[in-house]
Amino acid sequence: MRVKEHLQNFLVVSVAYITAYSLVLGFVSPLQQILLSNVILEVSLLFLPHGIRVLSFWFFGWRAAIYLLPAAYLMMVVSAQAGISLDLWSPLGNILACLLGFLIAKAVFPDLASKRGMPNWKYFGIIALFSSFFNSVGMTVLHVHELKILIATGYVIGDMAGFFVCFLILMYAFRFARLLAKASDT
Amino acid sequence: MSSLLKNIAKMQIMLADMEAEIGIRDIGAIEKSVLITIVDLANDATLVHTRAILKHPLNDGYSRPSLFRALKNLESLGKISKGGDRRGLYILSGESA
């Protein structure tokens, strides 16, 4: 793969990740603090970047870990400015957990990976679930220093809800793009 | 085609598949018009005849083949289904009913 292509992939992944994370920081987290103030700040119940991580791993394989890492560390710094201080290892832990989930999903469900030569959306859901499981265990240990089932479940709920909403946003974005294209044709 | 474009195309196909499976797939203007017509006509009778759909003022601007194609599409999307003993009768199905 050429350097230009790597750079292009890196930019697309970074922009998507930063946009999704900014939506969480600017909209989801404040709303969560008002409505569910008893949930700890480190747990987002609608973590949109999980959808971006899953898509990145599916499209770029293990390379996605490298593409995602700078944006993940940048958003850790931004989170700290917003009053949510994350562990220094958490961006790396998130990404490695997703990579592990992706590799296991690929090994366990090889048939689901492709339908008529095209990806099946349920397969993305399985990658999201596997990744979220490892992510929740890692993040709970990092932030609470012990494995608390309730907090770990919060991470899984946040990741899966974020994954699903992220896909819905993409779906409507493509639909909107199609509408715009149709309108400009007429 | 560049790999980025290929990935976007793959993602669009996957999302379209997801839209269809969770039942929020967008339907075209003619399909919408035909579905509204059937909802309108279904107020008077549960079974709606193709003739009534073709004659409905909402479908004035569409050709017969387009309307038949729209009926077929709506049927494959599970919005309507064939009903009754005679041919050409349709009934709203699933959440459209």
Interface of A with B in 145-174 (CB under 8 A): 167, 170-171, 174
Q: Which residue of B has its CA nearest to A175?
A: B26
The answer to which of A12-21, A166-175, B21-30 has the lowest mean pLDDT is: B21-30
Whether A119 contacts chain B with CB within 8 A: yes
| Amino acid, res. A181 | A
HSE (CB half, 13 Å, CA atoms) of B13? 13
How far is A19 from chain B, CA to nearest CA, in Å?
18
* B90 DSSP β-pair partners: B48, B82
Could you tell me if A140 and A151 are in contact, meaning their C-beta atoms sit under 8 angstroms apart?
yes
| Backbone torsions φ then ψ of B90, nearest 5 degrees | -125, 155
- Section A104-111 average pLDDT: 84
SS3 B82: strand
- How far apart, in whole angstroms, are the C-alpha atoms of residue A51 and residue A155? 14
Q: Check A121 against B18: CB less than 8 A apart.
A: yes
Give the model's pLDDT for residue B95. Answer: 55
Look at the alpha carbons of A77, A78, A83, A85 in this order and tell me if their dihedral is positive or negative: negative
Mutate to test the interface with B, among A52, A58, A59 (most CBs of B within 10 A): A59
User: pTM of the predicted model, to two decimals?
Assistant: 0.74
Range from A95-104, A141-150, B2-11, B14-23 that averages highest in pLDDT = A95-104
Structure tokens at A40: 């700890």
- Spell out which residues of chain B touch residue A119, defining contact as CB-CB under 8 Å: 10-11, 13-14
Each residue of B28-45: pLDDT tens digit? 778 888 888 888 888 766
Please enumerate, as own/partner, the contacts of B68-77 that have beta carbons within 8 Å and a separation of 24 or more.
B69/B30, B70/B28, B70/B30, B70/B31, B70/B33, B70/B34, B71/B34, B73/B27, B73/B28, B73/B31, B74/B27, B74/B31, B74/B34, B74/B35, B77/B20, B77/B25, B77/B27, B77/B31
Specify the 3-state DSSP secondary structure of B90: strand
* Position A185 pLDDT exceeds 80: no
Q: Does A112 touch chain B (CB under 8 A)?
A: no
Residue A127: pLDDT band by 50, 70, 90 thresholds? Answer: very high
Q: DSSP label at A28?
A: I
- The CB-side HSE value for A179 (13 A sphere, CA atoms) comes to 10
Q: Average pLDDT in the B6-33 region?
A: 79
The pLDDT, as a whole number, for residue A23 is 94
